[in-house]
Structure 1
Amino acid sequence: MTLPVLCPEADRNGALAAVEILQPRAVITIDSVKAAAIGAKTDLVKPLLVIDLGAHLTEAAVLANGCVIEARRTPHGTADLRTSITINSLIEYIRDMMADLLSHDCGPQVVDALERGPLLAGGGALLPAITYQLSKQLSCPVLPASGAYTVALRGATTIALAAHRHPSAH
């Protein structure tokens, strides 16, 4: 099960309770940004910036050596484009998250990740205007994930299959 990286504990518990109704043998949770990176088959050793631009939430996270080291979120996503905000406003929220990440201890990893180019996942990556404007605002290439809408699901599937094949699972 993928969860937003900054998912509040109550939401996480609610999601786990919902899954428990299915009576699974086990539940594996993974941050959606990490699942997206795995699904995109990116090199997880080098610093990577993942921007998951969904319908109701946008998260940006810096991964280094496969671990999320810092993340930010905004409660705005592509669904808001129909009602309350513009693409430029959404890009500004993302730019503000990048500035905030740069001002923290992980700043050097953010710089390295920006030079590499952020991975854009979620439905927002399907909108060329967002990719173009984000690339312009961040002054770096923005790399939409292949199959960006389902990339986190592919990553979670990869993790689930690996766990199933692990000797301790038998």
Structure 2
Amino acid sequence: MIPRPAAGIALDLGSSGARFCLGQRRTVTVPAVSGRPVVARGRVVDAETASRLVGEMVAELKVSRAQLTVVATTPVLCGDDHREDIRTLLAGAATVVMIEGVKAAALGVGMELSQPLLVVDVGAELTEVALLAEGCVVEARRTPMGLHDRVLAAVLVEVIGDAVLELLRGDHGPQTADALDRGVLLTGGGGLRPELIYKLGSRLGAAVCPAPAPHTVSVRGAASVLQATRRHPGVSRRPFPS
């Protein structure tokens, strides 16, 4: 029998800061320091600080990395270089599972993923639009623009609207239309902006539902994946589908 790792951490690294979920689903947020971001536009730019933050969380759990399972979120459409950066930060962990942040957010809300779902994540420096179907991200768009850019809500709404229109015209257009009928899940800091919620609903002609505590929903979803890997150790030995 493969021994079960003794502890785990869920991790969501973003431009606004790092969010960790430790044992008992306790969430710890470490805000980004002005002028010294750990992540910029979805890329790790300060690996030393990121590694130190992870080390502090591991120390708080009072375990060695060799006993640790980590579930980390990634932006949609990120490349292998970003995934390799995350693996390097988490070197020594018993198991590392990566999951796209938009899917983690849907899991964090408890959405039924067998039906098409449109997730819009408006973060500090990235805006992501993703179509999920049968539990997988089947098509997505991302724009290097977010709340830290201090653009008007109307500008972000147009960016999102154009991305959704591209999805409607693409190979998964019918599923996108079904997802719009179901309603749009809004996550990230944008889910805390009433003006953005209202304007986006008007632009898309669809219900826009902000996730509860939308800025931490992705790390909560990653924590639910972490619990699954600890209940069923075999899951942690396979890449998590995305």
TM-score range, shorter chain: over 0.9
Query: Which structure has the larger Rg over C-alpha atoms?
Result: 2
Q: Which runs of 5 or more structure 1 residues have no equivalent in the other structure?
A: none
- Deviations along 1:127-148, one digit per CA (max 9) or x if unpaired, are 1010000001001110100110
Equivalent residue in structure 2 for 1:140, among 193, 196, 206: 206
Q: Which amino acid aligns with 2:109?
A: A
Larger relative contact order (Cα-Cα within 8 Å, sequence gap ≥ 6): 1
Deviation at 1:8, TM superposition (A): 2.1
Q: Which amino acid aligns with 1:8?
A: G
The equivalent residue for 1:15 is 86
Deviation at 1:167, TM superposition (A): 4.3
Q: Which runs of 5 or more structure 2 residues have no equivalent in the other structure?
A: 1-71, 238-242
Deviation at 1:16, TM superposition (A): 1.7
The equivalent residue for 1:160 is 226
- Deviations along 1:136-166, one digit per CA (max 9) or x if unpaired, are 1001110100110111101000001101110
Aligned positions of 1:45-124 closer than 5 A: 45-81=114-150, 85-124=151-190
Q: Which amino acid aligns with 1:77?
A: G
Task: Output the TM-score relative to the length of structure 2.
Answer: 0.66
Aligned residues: 165
Q: Which amino acid aligns with 1:34?
A: K
Q: Matched residues in 2 for 1:78 and 1:164: separation?
A: 35
Q: Matched residues in 2 for 1:111 and 1:167: separation?
A: 37
Deviation at 1:58, TM superposition (A): 0.8
The equivalent residue for 2:51 is none
| CA RMSD, Structure 1 to Structure 2 (Å) | 1.3
Larger mean CA deviation between 5-14 and 131-140 belongs to 5-14
List structure 1 runs of 4+ shifted beyond 6 angstroms. Answer: none
Q: Which amino acid aligns with 1:39?
A: G
